[in-house]
A and B are shown apart, each in its own frame.
Chain A
Amino acid sequence: MNFILDYYNYWIVVFLMMTGFYIVISANNLVKKIVGLNVFQTSVFMLYISMGKVSGGTAPILVEGVTLYSNPLPHVLILTAIVVGVATTAVGLSLIVRIKRAYGTVEENEFKNQDDAI
């Protein structure tokens, strides 16, 4: 039981990661694929953020009387990764807009049929 409770942050990460991954693989709609990709990436953000927490530590701002701080570096790193995630989503969505214009659909099986028909 402790094994589950002690590492609850990792269980959340694993659950989100697998959910996102499953959506990416199984979804037929391209927008849903992007949503899945976002869930997948968010789980990694959670992994990094919980990694930097030091038990009993406070926010890393110099205050008198406090000696134990959380590690700010993973938080800063993940800010960069969030920006990368946003950029990926933007590129993905703009590709979807162009796919919709070219094929008239965003369902994977439908535009595959159109390509096979040629």
Chain B
Amino acid sequence: MLEQHLAVLPIILPLIAAPIVLILGRSILSWGFATFISGWACLVSWQLLTATLSGGVISYAVGGWPPPWGIEMRVDTANAFVLLAVSFISTLVLLFSKESIKKEIDESQHTLFYTAYLLCLAGLSGILITGDAFNLFVFLEISSLATYTLVSLARDRQCLTAAFRYLVMGTIGATFILIGVGMLYMKTGTLNMLDLAERIHAYDSSRTINTGLAFIMVGVGIKLALFPLHAWLPAAYTHAPSAVTAFLASTATKVAVYVMIRFIFTIFGAEHVFENMGMDLILMVLAVVAIFKCSYMAAVQSNVKTVLAYSSLAQIGYMILGVSLVSVTGLMASMIHIFNHALMKGALFMAVGAVFYRLGSVDIKAFRGLGKQMPLTMAAFTISGLSIIGVPLTVGFISKWYLVTAALEQNHWVIAALVLAGSLLAIVYIGRVIEAAYFQEPENGQANVKEVPWTMLLPMWVLVIANIYFGVDTSLTTEAAKNASEILFQNSTEISALVDSLHGPASQMINEANVLSVEVAQ
């Protein structure tokens, strides 16, 4: 029975489990149950990915209402791939959080933490799976509201102002997306993504559609923290509990990148967005500025969590750069980097969380001499740090390799050089921490710091090993990313070709249909 509902399970499981966790009450019980549910969701995502890897699509009509009218859940390689990354990281972070939150969140709020966490997971899976533009907004808000709560759970009072700031920025972003979707509905009379894609081409030069595109791009830009709209991110990541930061940094912004890719390639069509509207140049400039400005900011911070937050912003720059290259290889580089960056940043933030667990501080001074005292944690930090830099045999190298290949394919020599120069900056900010850990003497009074419990080390090292494994055996990630980007590109070119061939009569028919369904008050 569950087989036929496989496509909605990643949303339904955490959504139903969240209130149950609240009823369970005790910290250890809710932890076990939440981890079990997240692991199950991860298993389901794996099944979905294997089912769609060869190009298949799973379409699920919610409540039995057929797609253009009802809400459709639509799983293809692209979202199954990101979904696997999200649920995999989520499970590991839950394992990690058992010990970690003891030091960072009040005992009475542990159950609330797991409830909000599961709601956030349900929202993120929903954004990925849904095939309906308005439904996407609803899931976006479910995950965002849960995120604001999670950020505000830390003991440090600055997390409250960070969460408030995030709430204001996030709500403006989500409302922008809502306006954009409304404008699309005004013209086309539909909310189903595929239906939208088919109809939207008749209105390529319509001002309403283009304004909608602008609103959606800015709204998603806030959510994914694209360079000039990133102000909320560093404070939120710095002051949130470590487990929350590890989860958000490796999933939430990645899901927003996926939303941007979905809107550009599936709904608006790459040709229109890039050639008629010139978004490729805008995105490329912003991405390059993000890489350099944020890597520089990362290099001058003293709080290691802030360093990694700025590093995340720079990495988002790489993902957007891949999108802006407008090629299958470029998009593939972005998709791979979404997955790979989740592995690296998850491990890095867990290592920093482990340091906070023992020392109660994540200032760079606290890292002095830790190489000897917490060898396993610092080794994990070093390996995933090398991965961020892009050293061969790690996943970071694979991402950079495809990105540089994509840039060279189109003779963008300067972009390729800039990507490599960005890696040099990564050496600086990761190197500072490694230098402090291995080549400096510890501060007075922290002579006997012990390694953290194994429940924290295990998920950290699973991610580190994944960092190396997927850096050597790239068959799964490249195949999934390649199929995903081919599907996305095919979608957008196929539909525009279809519309071009039928241009006259088809668009007229659509026009007539719309006059009936949507007429604006005059």
Residues on A lying within 8 angstroms of B by beta carbon are: 6-7, 9, 21, 24, 30, 33, 37, 40-41, 44, 47-48, 50-55, 57, 71, 74, 77, 80-81, 84, 87-88, 91-92, 95-96, 98-99, 102-103, 111, 115
Contact = CB atoms under 8 A, between A and B. Distances in A.
B141 interface: yes
Given A88-B141, A95-B148, A53 B521 contact: yes
B134 A77 contact: yes
Interface of B: 134, 137-138, 141, 145, 148-149, 152, 157-158, 160-161, 163-164, 167-168, 171-172, 174-175, 178-179, 182, 185-186, 191, 517-522
A84 B172 CA distance: 13
Contacts of A40: 172, 175
A16 B181 CA distance: 19
Q: Which 3 A-B pairs have the closest CB atoms?
A: A102-B157, A53-B521, A84-B141
Contacts of A92: 164, 167-168
B199 to A, nearest CB: 15
B171 A96 contact: no
Given A24-B168, A96-B164, A55 B522 contact: yes
Contacts of A74: 182, 185
Contacts of B148: 91, 95
Nearest to A40: B175
Given A41-B175, A88-B171, A98 B160 contact: yes
Contacts of B179: 44, 47
Contact of A80 (B138, B164, B521): B138
B157 A103 contact: yes
15 contacts: A6-B522, A30-B164, A33-B168, A44-B182, A47-B182, A50-B520, A51-B182, A51-B518, A54-B521, A88-B167, A88-B171, A91-B148, A92-B168, A99-B161, A102-B157
A81 B137 CA distance: 9
Contact of B160 (A7, A37, A41, A95): A95
Contacts of B171: 37, 41, 88
